[in-house]
Amino acid sequence: MEKITIKELERNEIELLQNIARITFVESFGNQNTDADMYHYLNQNLSLETLNSEFEKENSKFYIVYNQSVIIGYLKLNFDIDFSHEHQKGFIELEQIYLLQSYQGQGFGQQLLDFVFEIAQAQKATKIWLGVWENNFGAIRFYERNGFQKVGEHVFLLGSDPQIDWLMEKEIDSNN
């Protein structure tokens, strides 16, 4: 299997992030949502203004994923933030993890998640948590195979559509 390269996003790469974020979001959810809801999400949540603001947050980091020199995905981590988005030392939120569809099912997603586990170990995190759409069955199975368990639910507003996200978490043994 090919090995991916994961690099922390730099300020001058925000437009690259926006491009891959929009493509992967539409690939993942476009056929299950209305055009109006998708348009609203893309222009509200994945605008350059929003991404620049997210980039500036002290406890957040974006990473770009490459297969050779081709950008194939990205991920975003938030440090020391719990389910209620309050400061909670030792928690890592895996807020976004996306790969182009043509690269899914080839082990690249596992490499990305292993990268997150390595960061959690280095940060001496106690928990990794995430939200995943209840209808994203493949992602849910992937997370369950990697030790995540459902611990709750919350509403994710996609445009005008309130959707249910499962909150999942995995405890981290930082002694390894």
- Residue 70 tokens read as 């081709």
Query: How crowded is residue 149: how many other Cβ atoms within 10 Å of its Cβ?
Result: 12
Query: How crowded is residue 172: how many other Cβ atoms within 10 Å of its Cβ?
Result: 20
Known catalytic residues are 143
Taking CA atoms, 70 is separated from 14, 63, 67, 135, 155, in Å, by 16, 14, 5, 29, 34
**CA angle at residue 19 from 15 to 25, to 5 degrees?**
140
